[in-house]
Every structure is written in structure tokens, then in C-alpha cells.
Structure 1
């Protein structure tokens, strides 16, 4: 293979797009209708090759299916690009789609459709457009391994999943990969099948989610802890199910991607960009992977990327902003809902909407009932019964993947746990994002000031507010971060 002189990061920076404002885009798809002389591979009883597809969002006659699967560890030479190596699961996964959709004429397959590394600009544009590509497909089909077939067949026959089926599904690594998240959540229609399955062994995602959720909710809590992948599986399916009427926030994507793996560093951010945007790539300035994601969020007006556990920028006017980071992990790995943290930059200041400003204060009497229910809901075994509410809440947050300190600020309405220990200053105030919710409260920012040599300087630290948001529904306002 001819080696490209570009590093992985530089390849990400070369975001030169073939797309136009009318959303035209040329895709390479697997098709039985291919150009004369093109390399072919036999799938079923037909020869398939690579064809070019002119994609326009205004053209409803152009249809194709997108494949979603996990590559695994095995590799084999590509039948269409012999110098390239692809997953040894690619051909079985394609065969599975053809078995379930015999009338299909076009399949977008990452291993065959993404330009190679010897074409860095085209490759980067395609990878940044993944959200667009998957959103334009008539359907996305998830192909699990053959071991998942008994579970798929059980659901197809409308029978409840058994513990043995849950054990088989738990072994699937589809949910652990970075790319599969954005592939699923952008789908118009999402189906699940498996390798080497008979025709008809395919189920709609909504039906799959119903049976999986029912089986998980019947498990005792200690047993459910043994299925972390299925919990993530359920979260992804739910995310797809509500995508039609709830906008996905940056924080929601960061949390969902937190434990997923990828081969290249930049793939983590490509996948997050695809989960937030279903627009084709456009020319942009030279940016790092992290900065490209943050810039997209800023263009969308969603500043919930602030709730990352990384250090803050030290530049005046940008101390609220996370620094460039290889993964930009969320402050806590917890599903959220809401319309994001809406804001805009104006005259060097960040103006944020729908913010509740709280000051340090003793807990209000009615907070006891909320905290008892919160702690008991996560630890019904009473393991934290002897601790005060702040200590017990921190223990629960740790179990949920919180990245922060055990010291907290009591605001009267709840407890705020920060990424880093705060200085003991009277100027501290907590800015709670009312537009994003967790079952335990909402994300927030601690704002405090310190005197420098010349001026009073504001600092910002992200964290988790544990408390009832019902009491704060009439309190949101607009704040300026300088």
C-alpha cells in the first residue's frame, strides 16, 4: 500500500468537502449494478462491485441500506482493494443483509465505501459526513455475530428473552465501538439481525428494545450489574427511539461515547460529530479532532460540552472552555435528556440561557426526602444509610462514573459536586443548567472570582448538582461568563 505522508491528526485536519450547499454528495456503494471491468465479489448468487451513487437529499428515488457492525480483531484482504485490509466480519455481515433484504440494490459498507488512507482529504470528508450518510439511508441494519441468533429468533417469535439470551447478547461488542453509536442514532429505520441467520431473522429496533428492557427490569439489581453492555445497548436504542422529537445534546453524546473504543484517536470525535450532525462535511479551518467537535457544538449553540472533566482554558474570556483533549470525557457517565445548554458568544462573553443561579446555603427541610429517595434508589441495600446525605451522594456518584472531588457545596436546594476542589471564597455561586436533566439533578458550573495583579478574574469548574429540579423550574435566567 502506498503510504500517505500525513499523520492521523493531520488527516483529520484536512477537512476538504466535495459537498455543496445543496447537499450533493457522491458515495461509493456495493451494488450488483457496477461499471464494466470493476473488481467483483460473489454474494449470494450475484456478483457485486463498487458503484458511484450521486446522493441528493431532495431526490427520494435514490435509496440504499447502511450496514452497522463491529469489526472485531480479524483482518482479511479487501476483495475490491487488495492492498487494503478489512474486517473478516465484513463479508459475512454483507451476506446477512442480502439474506434479509434480497431486493436490495445498494449497500453502504464502511470497509468498501470509505476512501483509503492514500486519499486523506476524501477520507476525512467522508468520515465527517457519516451522520449525514446514515441519516439518508432508507434503513440501517445492525448485524450482530452468529451467537446472537437465538435471542433475535426469540424476539421474532414474540417470546420473552431468557437469562441465557441476555448472556449471549452481553458478549456482543457492537455496543462498545465508537462508530456504531452514531450509525444507530442517525437511522431513519433501524433493524437488528445476525450472521448466518435464516431469512426473516430480523427485528425492528423498537421491538428489540421492548423485549430487552422488559427482561432487564425483571432482574434483581445485583444481577443486572452483570450486564453493563446491555445497559449501554438499551441506552443507544432509547437514544435512537427519541431522536425524532428530542434534540441530542453534546453532553449526551459525550456520555454515551465515554466507554467506547476506537482504532484511531480521531475516530472518537468523528463519531461524536456524526451523532450531532447529519449534514455533509463543509470546508473548515485547520482544527484538532477535539476542537472540530467543540466548534461544531458552538455553531449549533449547544455549550453542554462545558461539562467535561478536563482542565479549563487559562485565556481570559475563555476560562469556562475545556482545553483540547484526546477524548473530552463527560463529568459523569449518565444518560441525560433536554435541549442542551443553549448559548452564544457576544462581545467576548459567553451568554448562556436557562441557568439557575444558586448560592451556598444550608439544606432546606424538604431536601431530606429527595436525598433519601435518591440514595435508596441506587443503594436499596442500605449500604450508605449511616452517612450524611452529602457523603452518601458522593458514593453513589462514584458508582455512576463521576470524575470529581468528594467535597461539595450545599445550596439549600441540593448538593453540588465539583471536578476540582473549590477555594473557600464567599464569591462562589453555582450555575445549574436547567435545560439538561439527569434522574438525580442536572449538570452545573461553579463560578468564583479571585483578585489578580490588576483585576478581579472569574474562574469556572464543571460539576454535578444533586437535587430536585422541580423546585427550580421558575428560577432560570440568563448569565454572562467572562
Structure 2
């Protein structure tokens, strides 16, 4: 089959043009592919996209001046080139996607090739001259069909090429554990470390990728040939990126822009492990993992697989070194200097309230996975000082408690004044039990909902949640979209028999048999308002028995949720329920009782203004409950639904018995709409009678 030596192409309106001059040895077969991935479908609108690879030296943009060519980067360093005038998607380019010979590459959308090259030249009558087109060569019939598992039956079954499968996500709770086992062979995680240059490495000062830090030469390793990060010794560095950036090539030959805090954070960590008081089980290892340098730059399985393996990486590290800026560092150092923790001042608590590290979604997974934790300052003046994590952690909860007592404040007032520190206190409670208890996904999501992330990178919330849920290497294909990532979180939990993600505000799946399950394909229209896996309540919970979660199973009858309590609507609640809610809602009358000043969500005076239902709803609102409905009165308590239930048919209410709060538990509402069964989460406040719990057939 003959091949072209040159082709041209461009966008629909002609404002973006290009020319390709192929090398004589260009491999047309192995550089042609069809992509069925969701990302290509979303950005093109086509069910299948034909591409062909060319090297950058053989490619030239020939657009008129000024050029209308623009590019979009969902991940830095990965460009989708398009025409800003007509919108045509022309090519995709990864900055770190070279050929084996080291040449950059570009993936050209085959549909943008000019007709005379794609179809063939036309004669005077407008008919194509046979043998003058190169479409069959450029879109080679023996090329690959990538993401072939995304085929759409007979619609895409006829596409020519060799199918290249990535394993698909869990679609059935009955097979999730089996699929997870199969996916394990597709794990993608690359561990690279910053290490000192050793004699014989052949690396010298001034070489590309070599940096002198703290009087020593360092470099970033190639990906280590290991399956488990626990096979090597290293330290993880935790820090906040901030807004400043270093240009590509400015630090360890970084291929994309990175935080300007990466350099000082790494230097601070190098100094920290040599400071007196640094805790280690043996000789201190000089090897570091830091995200900006150790997460693969190129968009693809290696990068996404590494981001999805953060729990594995942080749990494998010898320690996590947290690099803190002022004023937080001075506060931590002073609070940890005495033999016992001192209560922080109001001003210090307010300063910590706004600290970016404490508020970040990544902080939770970094803490609960860490074996040892040290704080160190980012500025040079404090390099010789470190603080062990527990020294600072012990004073946080103590400070909140002392502030409430000294100022006659309630839990409600504390949440208003210090929402971040209250969330941090819950994190520390999870940290205290992380060595011997697992965490339910509901527990993780409740904490994450109170944390901050860059709205331009909404995947970070779910990536951090995944890191807090599992210490295993990422399995399955990389999560290219929020929907994919939501599915991966649920699939991971299902494989561990944790179905507590049902207690979220998500719209439910319309797929038959999965109507109870959050819909991963929900559309997030506002980057600042996530919709995937948002807990019905952001409040610290526990499992009953300790460490338990919401479990389920599938048999011939269908899918069952275990340990569920069927709630019975009533005209009024019992006296037992009223006592329980009153004791939780309001501070005791007799403040001379031990611990009385710390009890009660509201002051006793609130009881004169609100009935139980209104008071409970007011409290739930402070815990990020988004329902606004009147509660359904039940024999054992009040059920607060997310959606109105008054006009629904055949409404059934259930409360979980294995996930608990002091005032109740998460719940589920079920009703009929015609021949369809619908589900929505809710909050049950009242007496949780665990002995009455049974398995409930869901579908």
C-alpha cells in the first residue's frame, strides 16, 4: 500500500491550517487509532474519533496571521488544539508524550485532513479520481481501537482495527468483588523519588535534572520497578501549593509549571530529617516523595493511576513531613513547647481557622494514612526546629473545649466561630483510630464536605476521598471524568462491602436494578457546587458495633441492605424520644454537673423559642443538611427527608443501625412513582433500636 509524503488540513472555517511532511520511514499502521473514550466523545460530540500520530518535526502550523488557534488544558501540559472562531477540534498534544527516539508527537484529528488527501482529488465533473486519496492509509484499518470496552453495540462494532481494552468499571454489585480482583492486573502506579546523587551515578552539578539543595546534589529517579511502595523507604512531603508558579524547566527539569512553594518545601524537608528530635525507626532515609516532581506529568494511565494511589503512597512512607507557613508555624511551635498542651488564644485559633493546609481536602487522607507525622517551617529561620504531630494535635481539641467553657459557648456557637477547627478535630479522632479501624465512605465524605479544594480541579475532592478509603494501588482504568471517579469510589467501597455511600444527596441511577444507587453520570453545572457523593449530613459518625458500616448482599431475590430499621409513622413521638432529643439539643439546667458546660447543641433558652422539629432542623442545617422539609413523625423519632414526601405514594422509611450519631442515624426513603421505585436519603433523629434491625430487600 503506497503512502503520502505530504498532506494538509485545517478547521472548518479555514482560520487554522497545518501541513505534515512525513518521514520516509513513517509507520502509518502503528500511528493510526480510533478512540472510544468518554473524554474524546465529550470534546468532539462524536461516538468514535479517528486520529493519527505525527512527530513534531514533521508538522507545521500554517494558519493565517493572526492565528485563531487556541488550546484547552484540563490537565497542565496536555493541549486540545481548536479553532476559536468555528470551534473545530484539530489535534491533541501531550508535552510529555515523546517517541522512543525522544521526539514530541501530535495526534491529528483525521476528519480535519483536506478532502483532496483524505478522499482524493476530483475531476472536472466533481467526481473523485480513484487512487488519489490517502484516508485508508492515514486511518489504517489495522490500527488500534482504544477504549474498546466503550463500544455501543452494533453502532461501533463495525469499526476496523485491533481492539485495545481497558477494563470497564463495576456495573453490578453482584460482581464488584470479582471485577476488582480482575482489575488488580491492570494497576497503574509509578513511584518516583527525589534522592541524593551518589558516586558513580554519572550525574554532576549543572546537569539537566540535577539540583543542589542544602549543599548536596539531588535528582528525581526514573519510575521504580516495584509493585508495592512499601518495598522502599522514603518520606512524603505535605504542603500547600498556593497561587505562585515556577516555569517549566526551572526545577529538576520540570516539564509543566509547578508551585513556587515546591522548592522551599523540599529544602525544608531535607533539613527537617536532620533536625534533633526527628523520630525514625532506624537510620534516616534521604528519599522524598513530593507531588509536583513525583506525579507523572503526561496525561494518561500513569498520572491518573498515581493520583488514585495516594493512600498507598502516604501509608507506605516512613513519615509525612508537613511544611507549614507563618503564622501557623509559630502557633504550632509555641503550643507544643511545654510538657503539656496549652490552650490556644482566640487570635491563634482564628489564624489556624484560615490556614490553607488545615482546610485542604488532601490533609485528611495525608493524616489518616501517615505512620509518623512531623511539622516543619517553610522559612529558613526555623529550619532547625520540628514538632511531632501528636504534640500539636493534642492541643486542638483541648483549645476548642476550653474556649467553650471560658466563654459560655455551645457546640452551635463553636461551629459558627471555628468550623475548620471543628472539622480538624474530627479528623484527629479518625487519625487516632486509623491504625486499627477502617473508615466508612460516609465517614470520609462527611469530613471532606467541610474542606476546601480548587474549583478548577473538582476531581481533587474525590481523589482525596479515594486516598482516605484505600491503601491499595489504584485498579482499573484511569478516571478521566468526575463521573468515572465517582464510579471508582463506589466500586472500591462495594468491593469492601461498604454501601454507606447511599446516604448522599445525589440523584439516583435510572438503570433497572440500581435505582437505589447514586447516579455517577450527574452533571455538575457549577464548579463551586459539587454534586457527586455529597453526604446527607457532615457530622462525625461511628460504626455500631465499633468499626462497622452499612453492608449489603445479593441473592436470588435481589439486593439487600443489612441492619436496617423500618420506621413507623405516628401522630406523636414517645417520651423516651423527647428526652433523648432534649438532652442532645439543650445544655443541662444544672451546670454544676461534671462536663455539663460542654453538653448541648444549643443553650437552654432556645427551648422556649422552638419546638423539637424546628430545633432539630436548625441543628441539622449547621451540619450542612440541605433538606428543608417538615419531618415525618415516627414512633421512635423524627425523619427529615431531602425531598418532600407528602404527595408520594407508598412511602417507606428506614434508618441505619450500623452508622450512628448520638442523636440518630442516616436514613432512606422509598416510594412509588407509577411503576417505578424511587429512593432518597434522609436523616433520622431519635432512638435507634438496633435489636429491631433486619435486612431489607431494595431491588
TM-score, shorter chain, exceeding 0.5: yes
Q: Partners in 1 of 2:665 and 2:414 — Cα distance?
A: 28
Contact 2:319 2:370 in 1 (8 A): yes
Q: Which residue of 1 aligns with 2:349?
A: 166
CA distance in structure 1 between the aligned counterparts of 2:698 and 2:415, rounded to whole angstroms: 42
Contact 2:314 2:320 survives alignment (8 Å): yes
Distance 1:351 1:165, change over 3 A: same
Task: Tell me if structure 2 keeps the 8 A contact 1:331–1:403.
Answer: yes
- Of 550, 555, 562, 1:341 maps to 550
Q: 1:348 to 1:85 in 2, by over 3 A?
A: farther
Counterpart contact for 1:391–1:406, Cα < 8 Å: no
Which residue is equivalent to 1:420?
Answer: 643
Larger Rg belongs to: 2
Distance 2:77 2:696 in 1: 53
| Structure-2 separation of matches of 1:232 and 1:379 | 19
Post-superposition CA distance 1:49-79 (Å, at most 9, x none): 101444454965x210001111111111350
Alignment of 1:170-185 (within 5 A): 170-185=353-368
Shift of 1:451: 4.4
- How do 1:82-121 residues align onto structure 2 when only pairs under 5 Å count? 82-102=254-274, 103-116=284-297, 118-121=298-301
Matches within 5 A, 1:56-455: 57=228, 62-77=232-247, 78-102=250-274, 103-116=284-297, 118-158=298-338, 159-163=341-345, 164-196=347-379, 198-199=382-383, 201-220=385-404, 221=409, 222=413, 225-259=416-450, 260-262=452-454, 263-284=456-477, 288-324=484-520, 325=522, 326=524, 327-338=532-543, 339-347=548-556, 349-361=558-570, 362-376=572-586, 377-380=600-603, 382-424=605-647, 427-452=650-675
| TM-fit CA distance, 1:284 | 4.0
Distance of 1:405 and 1:255 partners within structure 2: 19
Give the aligned partner of residue 691 of structure 2: 474
Query: Kindly tell me: are residues 177 and 15 of structure 1, through their superposed partners in 2, closer, same or farther at Cα, counting changes over 3 Å?
Result: farther
Structure 2 CA distance for aligned equivalents of residues 86 and 367 of structure 1: 55
Greater mean alpha carbon deviation, residues 171-180 or residues 333-342? 171-180
Is contact 1:344–1:350 with CA below 8 Å preserved after alignment? yes
Find the aligned partners of 1:458 and 1:349 in 2 and give their Cα distance.
14
Q: 1:42 — aligned with what?
A: 212
Does structure 2 retain, via aligned residues, the 8 Å contact 1:309–1:404?
no
d(CA) in 1 for partners of 2:396, 2:213: 32
SS in 1 for 2:670: strand
Report the CA distance between 1:429 and its aligned residue.
Answer: 2.7
Query: Would the aligned equivalents of 1:152 and 1:193 in 2 still touch at CA under 8 Å?
Result: no
Task: Name the count of aligned residue pairs.
Answer: 470
Asked if the contact 1:209–1:238 (Cα under 8 Å) also holds between the matched residues in 2, the reply is no
Is residue 445–residue 533 contact of structure 2 (8 Å, CA) maintained in 1? Answer: yes
SS of the aligned residue for 1:27 comes to: coil
SS of alignment partner, residue 220 of structure 2 = strand
Distance in 2 between residues matched to 1:265 and 1:156, nearest whole Å = 35
Q: Could you say which residue in structure 2 is the equivalent of 1:30?
A: 194
Deviation, 1:141, is 1.6
Whether the aligned pair in 2 keeps the contact of 1:15 and 1:284 (CA below 8 Å) is yes
| Secondary structure in 2 matching 1:73 | coil
Contact 2:235-2:320 within 8 A present in 1 as well: yes
Distance change (3 Å), C-alpha of 1:28 and 1:257 = same
CA distance in 2 between partners of 1:184 and 1:46 (Å): 29
Aligned equivalents of 1:65 and 1:334: distance in 2?
A: 32
Seen in structure 2, the aligned counterparts of structure 1 residues 43 and 385 have a Cα distance that, compared at 3 Å, is: farther
- Is residue 216–residue 224 contact of structure 1 (8 Å, CA) maintained in 2? no
Quick one: structure 1 residues 58 and 266, their matched pair in 2 at CA, closer, same or farther if it must change by over 3 Å? Answer: closer
1:80 & 1:348 partners in 2: Cα distance? 59
C-alpha displacement of 1:20: 6.5
Contact 1:69 1:143 in 2 (8 A): yes
**Shift of residue 199, structure 1, vs aligned partner:** 4.9
Contact 2:188 2:475 (8 Å CA) reproduced: no
Change (3 A) 1:481 1:27: same
Cα distance change, pair 313–408 in 1 and its aligned pair in 2 (3 A): same
Could you tell me which runs of 5 or more consecutive residues in structure 2 were left unpaired when the two chains were aligned. Answer: 1-75, 81-91, 95-146, 151-164, 168-179, 275-283, 525-531, 587-599
Higher relative contact order (CA 8 A, sep 6+): 1
- CA shift, 1:316, in A, is 3.1
Query: Does the Cα contact within 8 Å between 2:444 and 2:469 map onto a contact in 1?
Result: yes
For residues 349-390 of structure 1, give each alpha carbon's deviation from its aligned partner in whole angstroms, at most 9, with x where no partner exists.
Answer: 321111112121231121111121222111115235332211
Please give the alpha-carbon distance, in whole angstroms, between the structure 2 residues aligned to 1:253 and 1:223.
22
Structure 1 residues 122 and 100: alpha-carbon distance in aligned structure 2, compared to 1, 3 A threshold: same
C-alpha contact 2:189 2:305 (8 A) present in aligned 1: no
